[in-house]
Amino acid sequence: MATLDPKTMKDWEIAEAAEAGMRKIGAIADELGITEDELYPYGHYIGKVDYISVLDRLKDRPDGKYIDVTAITPTPLGEGKTTTTMGLVEGLGKIGKRVTGGIRQPSGGPTFNIKGSAAGGGLAQCIPLSEFSLGLTGDIDAINNAHNLAMVALTSRIQHEFNYGDKFLARRNLERLNIDPRNPAMGWTIDFSAQALREIIIGIGDKMDGFMMKSGFQITVSSEVMAILAVAKDLADLRARLGKMVVGYSKSGKPVSADDLEVGGAMTALMHKAINPNLMQTLEGQPVFVHAGPFANIAIGQSSIVADRLALKLSDYHVTESGFGADIGFEKFWNLKCRFSGLVPNAAVIVCTVRALKMHGGGPRVVPGKELAEEYTKPNVGLVEQGTENLVAHIETVKKSGIQPVVCINHFYTDSDDEVVAIRRVAESAGARVALSKHWEKGGEGAVELAEAVVEACEEKPRFDFLYSLDLPIKERIAVLAREVYGADGVSYTPEAEEKLAAIAEDPEAKKLGTCMVKTHLSLSHDPAIKGRPKGWTLPISDILTYRGAGFLVPVAGGIKLMPGTSSDPAFRKIDVDTATGKVRGLF
């Protein structure tokens, strides 16, 4: 490890060098207490774990400590949340704790676009990097296929009912669903950032080519199928949730589900292996469960409940990650994931960087692909202090859950001691523990202070409670989230959103669903351009989506798109394969 220098080496170069000394996945599983029959190897260094067998065998074993990693509002570059998760796992391993990590599988969209993979960075990574970044064991492919099979069922049913009517229905012993082609509940999925597919027309041709209608694509990891994988408790729960997915609506406005289309069983068949979590490792050989996917700004953005339940039985400390800042990822971890799982967390780590605090303090715009302004690489305590109001907002959010917050100052080697002191002073005054961590530069050794602070926080008994009751009407829940988490003065609604809220109020099943907000991750507000801790603003809700399978009502704030776009300088330009060795180069 001493020969790996993140200051001079790219992440993929570090990963490639470290992979030469990787532990075999069978050895990692054996050390965790997973039997040979419970591990399904995918090559030498990755495996899926039979969660049913493990959970049944260890049902009487007490759970370990449960830790969530979240962050302040990030710059567009991200502030190293996954890097910190991997670093904390390495740090806990360094101080002798039996530890597991839990992260999400990266999406092909960011991997080939601006953000890159989601394996961490420097000396705090999940490996093997290429396999992690390029499909892993096929879970996202399964999600893509299950989602699109539901759309095949919907569009073919529209075509056959329209073209052949009662004759077709009688021959197949089917009831007329009378699906409205102008009101589908979803489109198609592809796991790339493909802005050209956001809006399309399908069925062009004669009647054998389908029914002509407007449609479109969303990125696969934003699919309700992904959300279902993240929150399902077991295979039976997965099957029930997939069957409840609303794929379209009848002309009278009645929801048409996957089970109405008789496709829920086939969707589950495509997903039945994907529900088993993937087992990988950190650069230092600690076990990491990789399951479900990202995008907490437009989805739930959590690693799975199944993976967390599994890891908590196998380890004394389990570190999971929730997407983006505490206003989005942690809020969904708190009020959705924990509500569904029944698990009570012991601590939450809030990742912050000097860079992001300077941005929130009024620093120049941070643009991916462009060199950082000198304000971000030279000491400027004043900018940091002005930006700490954003950090305080996230500390207050975590404290409202009753969980112990630990602020991790994710150290960049350009940070000054005076800037670090300023962050410590503010965070401690706000009631959080604080730890400086140099895991990117030094791996587990650099994360010992963070690991010790987290162990200390876990010794305090959490006073955990949800922010709202499911008995609270959806409109009041949105108001609570807007006021208590985002800091808004109020909420406004479009006529379309008001119409959907009225329908939800009349639907006993819908009004008991959880609330999964869709909001930008780049601001506490709905507007990504507004930094710091915005005051005197109103949260605009433009639409309310219903994910009956996942169990969510999804209020949409701002102009979020379910399909990101590819930039003018995408990451795929730098990715290639060494044809002599077969190794992938250029991932980051």
Encode pLDDT of 352-385 as tens digits.
Answer: 999 999 999 999 999 887 889 999 999 999 999 9
Question: Per-residue pLDDT for the chain (588 aa), expressed as one digit of tens each?
Answer: 448 999 999 999 999 999 999 999 999 999 999 999 999 999 999 999 999 999 999 999 999 999 999 999 999 988 999 999 999 999 999 999 999 999 999 999 999 998 888 899 999 999 999 999 999 999 999 999 999 999 999 999 999 998 887 888 888 888 899 999 999 999 999 999 999 999 999 999 998 999 999 999 999 999 999 999 999 999 999 999 999 999 999 999 999 999 999 999 999 999 999 999 999 999 999 999 999 998 777 788 899 999 999 999 999 999 999 988 999 999 999 999 999 999 999 999 999 999 999 999 999 999 887 889 999 999 999 999 999 999 999 999 999 999 989 999 999 989 999 999 999 999 999 999 999 999 999 999 999 999 999 999 999 998 999 999 999 999 999 999 999 999 999 999 999 999 999 999 999 988 899 999 999 999 999 999 999 999 999 999 999 999 999 999 999 997 778 899 998 889 999 999 999 999 999 988
CA distances from 534 to 316, 323, 382, 426, 543 (A): 39, 21, 19, 18, 23
Residues 6+ apart with CB under 8 A from 109: 191, 192, 193, 219, 221, 564
DSSP 522-584: SSSSS-TT--SS--S-EEEEEEEEEETTTTEEEEEESS--SS----SS-GGGG-EEETTTTEE
Which residue in the list 192, 289, 440, 537 is annotated as catalytic? 440
Q: Among 3.10.410.10, 1.10.10.10, 2.60.120.1030, 3.40.50.720, name the CATH number for the domain at 474-557.
A: 3.10.410.10
Q: 296 an active-site residue?
A: yes
The catalytically annotated residue of 104, 241, 332, 475 is: 104
Structure tokens at 371: 């060199």
Tell me the C-alpha distance between 438 and 87, whole Å.
8
The CA distance from 43 to 170, in Å, is 50
What residue spans define the domains of the chain? 11-138+274-458, 139-265, 474-557
Q: Which ranges of 222-336 would DSSP assign to H, the alpha helix?
A: 224-231, 235-244, 264-271, 305-314, 331-332
Task: Classify strands 347-352 and 404-410 as parallel, antiparallel or unpaired.
Answer: parallel
Structure tokens at 141: 């492919």
Burial bucket for residue 545 (CB in 10 Å: 0-12, 13-18, 19+): middle
440 in active site: yes
Residue tagged active-site, from 48, 97, 115, 442: 115
Q: Among this protein's residues, is 17 annotated catalytic? A: no
Catalytic residue among 296, 356, 432, 447: 296
Q: What are phi and psi of 442, to 5 degrees?
A: -130, 5
The encoded tokens of residue 96 equal: 């002798």
CATH code of the region 139-265: 3.30.1510.10
332 is catalytic: no
Please tell me which residue in 162, 240, 339, 412 is annotated as part of the active site: 412
Q: What is the pLDDT of residue 297?
A: 79
| CA nearest neighbour of 144 among 186, 98, 85, 195 | 186
Which of left, alpha, beta for 222 (phi over 0: left; psi -120 to 50: alpha)?
alpha
Residue 544 near residue 556, CB atoms below 8 Å = yes
Phi, psi of 215 (to 5 degrees): -150, -165
Dist. CA 261–CA 252, nearest whole Å: 17
The one catalytic residue among 12, 192, 324, 330: 324
Q: 104 catalytic, yes or no? A: yes
| Three-class SS state of 380 | coil
Q: Which amino acid is at 555?
A: P
The rounded mean pLDDT for the chain is 95
* Location of structure tokens 């890159």: 116
Query: What is the distance, to the nearest Å, from the Cα of residue 347 to the centroid of all Cα atoms in its chain?
Result: 19
Neighbours of 370 (CB within 10 A): 9
Which residues are CB-neighbours of 576 under 8 A, at least 6 positions away? Answer: 584, 585, 586
Q: Six-digit token pair at 121?
A: 């960075």
Which of 83, 268, 388, 397 is the catalytic position?
A: 83
- Calculate the dihedral angle through the C-alpha atoms of 9, 12, 17, 19, rounding to the nearest 10 degrees: 150
HSE-CB of 84 using CA atoms within 13 angstroms: 34
Catalytic residue among 48, 81, 442, 475: 81
How far is 507 from 474, CA to CA, in rounded Å?
A: 12
Homologous superfamily (CATH) for 11-138+274-458: P-loop containing nucleotide triphosphate hydrolases (3.40.50.300)
What φ, ψ does residue 543 adopt, rounded to 5°?
A: -160, 160
Q: How far is 237 from 550, CA to CA, in rounded Å? A: 10
CA–CA distance, 99 with 450 (Å, rounded to integer): 14
Alpha carbon distances (Å) from 373 to 234, 365, 370, 588: 49, 8, 9, 22
pTM of the model as a whole: 0.95
Known catalytic membership, residue 20 = no
Q: How far is CA 547 from CA 105, 246, 443, 455, 520, in A?
A: 22, 7, 40, 37, 19
